[in-house]
Amino acid sequence: MAEYGKRERDKPWIMRTYSGHSTAAASNELYRTNLAKGQTGLSVAFDLPTQTGYDADDPLARGEVGKVGVPVSHIGDMRALFDGLPLDQMNTSMTINATAVWLLSLYVAAAEDQGVDPSVLRGTTQNDIIKEYLSRGTHIFPPAASMRLITDLISYTVNDVPKWNPINICSYHLQEAGATPTQELAYALVTAIGVLDAVKATGRVPESEFGNVVGRMSFFVNAGIRFVEELCKMRAFVELWDRVTQERYGVTDPKQRRFRYGVQVNSLGLTEQQPENNMIRIVLEMLAVTLSKDARARAIQLPAWNEALGLPRPWDQQWSLRAQQILAYESDLLEYPDLFKGSEVVEAQTQHLVDSAWAEVQEVLKRGGAVEAVESGYIKQKLVESNAARLRAIENGDQIVVGVNKYVESAPSPLTENLDDAILTVDPEVDANQRAALGRWKEERDNAAVEQALAELQRVANTDENMMAASIAAAHAGVTTGEWANTLRQVWGEYRAPTGVAGATVKASGSGASADVIDRLRARLSELETRMGRRAKLLVGKPGLDGHSNGAEQIAIKARDVGFDVVYEGIRVSPEQIVASALEEGVHLIGLSILSGSHLALVPEVAERLRASGLGDVPLVVGGIIPDADAERLRHEGIAAVYTPKDFELDNIMSDLIDLVDRQHAAE
């Protein structure tokens, strides 16, 4: 028998912290301290304007600059971001999608400026725009154009930056939008198939080199609290990917068929109540992606204990990094071969997931593949339905969440004694500073060169040439993120993705207490309809660049199910648009959902515009990640109610909303 335990340890996974905020310079400093703490790779969080292709001076960027990530508007910002960090030695993961071609171009250009040959660069561009339509919400262009950008980036790096991971097929975000393990597996696989088929269809990669493309595909996966099942899910991924690459693409080299993946563990299940419990959830979830040597993550980043409160501070992120380090360096995990090989239980559960996921893969392929199933809303609707089932199970106690629907009593927590200081706040000056800096940049650069670079970009966009060369040239010329994206918007147009809510059916609550509550709410709305003459009509609005749609979707379908007429227009609607919709639709109530932290800029703007349009009487409520002090301020400014994740009982929210309409009706 082999002797385990004392043998040489495996090399640990790459440890990252997803970070970036305020400015390139501030984020650079953060990266340096993170590396000093033993982090082994960088993971860049960009702000929403950068992700959705707007410059800081665009009206749509208001309130969002430098908030949830670092703004990178041009090569100057990219240089500052990596100042003193030699790019030939970094392993940099960039969570960037619609503008991935552009950000990689800036990175390559910055490397060239550092005297680094791009061919040695290592890292990852997320570049999975398909899941943006389904969950993450930073898409810009229609699916066909997005697929072209994806494949352009892949065929560029496979040749020119061979160690780069050109795409991270993301199932992480699908679970965050409600996906079950089966759905997570299936939809990630169909996305990968869609991408590989598209690369093949370009005809740019010779048949003999296609294995290289397959070998560079990597995944970004989630792990939830049901960590045994999640562990099996990772093993199922390994098996299914091996099957797809072998059977569909005829890849013979087992190394190129390996399922390579990075992880961020589940954040959707992290709670606002008793937030310290989240650390325990995070550690358990990490086990799912580390315990199996045969299906172990290559890179891990963990959320922080205060996830549901707001942005993490350096200490919060450090605590999570320490969890990784303790598992990797203190424990004996890395001394053993695969722990579960031969386990009947694990193998059976893995097989079950393989089979159910494969069936769903076939279903999507039958519907024409990932892109079709995105455009038709099929996948989105499935996610919305799963998320609704999940929320309902928590609401009626079928799924226990400690500190939320069970064991809710708590001694005062020293961690949250001063809640407002328990999160990172971004200096509001950042916005104006970045705008000013951008103005200077535009003045100082060679504008003729910029014009020329943009003209070339436009020309290429209209052909089927690879976009990378023109983008790298534009990066060197000083083009900005907004200019790059706007040029392409003019060629390809923009896309509003299906919301998945209209067709989403939620299984009737059956019988019992919760069914009674629903019946009572329905009866109240019917009675209110008799008195008002019309059925109560609710507008659910998502102002700003925020892509967090879960809350808005779930409120919308719940409201329909208790009997509201609901207008929901999807994400990224301007305050002006929301007010125009409220006016034209004749709604009785408006609910905004904002999780990106820009509520203090956006909510008052909506309120002000409502007043200006003569709709000042229509009650306005807000939900999302709203710190207590801000909630207080908003209520003071006339917002009728503010909801946060701790308000998990949707029935209660609905009851409040009906009260509001009723009261307003009585007042008129």
Partner 1 sequence: MPPSDLADDPQAVMSADKAAVSRALNLVEDRRPEAHTRVTELLAKLKDAPKAAGGHRVGLTGPPGVGKSTLTSVLARAVRQRGRTLGVVAVDPSSIRSGGSLLGDRARMSFDPADAGLFVRSLATAGEVGGLAYAANSAMRVLAAAFDMVVVETTGVGQSEIDIVHVADTVVLVIQPGSGDVLQFLKAGIMEIPDILVVNKADHEELAKRAVADLRGALQTAHAAGASSGQDASWETPIIATSATKGSGIDELIDALDGHRQHLEATLAARRRQGEVQWTLDLFSRKHGEHGVSTLGGLARLKARAERDLDGGQTPLSLCEHLSREYVAALGKTP
Ligand X SMILES: Nc1nc2c(ncn2[C@@H]2O[C@H](COP(=O)(O)OP(=O)(O)OP(=O)(O)O)[C@@H](O)[C@H]2O)c(=O)[nH]1
Give the catalytic positions in this structure. 18, 172-173, 542, 546, 548
The binder of 564, among partner 1, ligand B12, ligand X, none, by C-beta within 5 to 8 A per type, is partner 1
Q: Is 624 in the site for ligand B12 (CB under 6 A)?
A: yes
- Token pair, residue 368, equals 């024409």
- With CB under 6 A as the contact rule, the residue among 478, 564, 648, 651 that binds ligand B12 is 648
Q: Is 462 in the site for partner 1 (CB under 8 A)?
A: no
Q: Is 59 in the site for partner 1 (CB under 8 A)?
A: no
| Cα–Cα distance measured from residue 360 to residue 384, given in angstroms and rounded to the nearest whole number | 16
| Cα–Cα distance measured from residue 660 to residue 48, given in angstroms and rounded to the nearest whole number | 33
- Segment 466 to 495, residues that bind partner 1, using CB under 8 A: 493-495
> By Cβ distance, which residue is nearest to ligand X?
375
Long-range contacts of 150-154 (CB under 8 A, 24+ apart): 150/100, 150/195, 150/198, 151/195, 151/198, 151/199, 151/202, 152/101, 152/466, 152/467, 152/468, 153/100, 153/101, 153/104, 153/125, 153/127, 153/468, 154/127, 154/195, 154/199, 154/213, 154/216
The binder of 618, among partner 1, ligand X, ligand B12, none, by C-beta within 5 to 8 A per type, is none
Residue whose CB is less far from ligand X, 68 or 370: 370
- With CB under 8 A as the contact rule, the residue among 547, 551, 570, 597 that binds partner 1 is 570
- Token pair, residue 514, equals 């919760």
The binder of 43, among ligand B12, partner 1, ligand X, none, by C-beta within 5 to 8 A per type, is none
Q: Is 665 in the site for partner 1 (CB under 8 A)?
A: yes
Q: Is 564 in the site for partner 1 (CB under 8 A)?
A: yes
Phi, then psi, of 184 in degrees rounded to 5: -60, -45
Phi, then psi, of 137 in degrees rounded to 5: 75, 20
Residue whose CB is less far from partner 1, 38 or 586: 586
Q: What's the helix, strand, coil split of the chain in %, to 5?
A: 55, 10, 35
| Cα–Cα distance measured from residue 293 to residue 242, given in angstroms and rounded to the nearest whole number | 16
Residue whose CB is less far from ligand B12, 86 or 586: 586
| Cα–Cα distance measured from residue 125 to residue 300, given in angstroms and rounded to the nearest whole number | 15
**Phi-psi map region of 570: left, alpha, beta (phi>0 left; psi -120 to 50 alpha):** left
Residues 543, 575: contact at Cβ < 8 Å? Answer: yes
Nearest approach in angstroms of CB 650 to ligand X is 24
Nearest approach in angstroms of CB 342 to ligand B12 is 35
Residue whose CB is less far from partner 1, 410 or 462: 462
Q: Is 405 in the site for ligand B12 (CB under 6 A)?
A: no
Q: Is 576 in the site for partner 1 (CB under 8 A)?
A: yes
Nearest approach in angstroms of CB 144 to ligand X is 8
DSSP, residue by residue, 46-76: BPHHHHHT--TTSGGGTTTTTSSSB---SHH
Residue whose CB is less far from ligand B12, 524 or 548: 548
Quick one: which of 39, 131, 45, 29 has its CA closest to 95? Answer: 45
Nearest approach in angstroms of CB 663 to partner 1 is 12
Residue 384, classified by CB atoms within 10 Å of its CB into exposed (0-12), middle (13-18) or buried (19+), is: buried
Q: Is 270 in the site for ligand B12 (CB under 6 A)?
A: yes
Nearest approach in angstroms of CB 495 to partner 1 is 8
Span near partner 1 by CB under 8 A; candidates 272-280, 329-337, 457-465, 559-567: 559-567
- With CB under 8 A as the contact rule, the residue among 60, 415, 419, 532 that binds partner 1 is 532
Quick one: which of 564, 568, 561 has its CA closest to 500? Answer: 568
| Cα–Cα distance measured from residue 262 to residue 259, given in angstroms and rounded to the nearest whole number | 10
- Token pair, residue 207, equals 């048949």
Residue whose CB is less far from partner 1, 242 or 569: 569
Chain centroid to CA 370: how far?
18
Contact string (CB under 6 A) for ligand B12, positions 543-572, x = contact = ---xxxxxxx-xx-----------------
Q: Is 194 in the site for partner 1 (CB under 8 A)?
A: no
Q: Kindly list the residues in this chain that would bind partner 1 in the complex (CB under 8 A).
A: 142, 376-377, 493-496, 498-499, 501-503, 508, 522, 525-526, 529-530, 532-535, 556-557, 559-570, 574, 576-577, 579-581, 583-586, 613-614, 665, 668
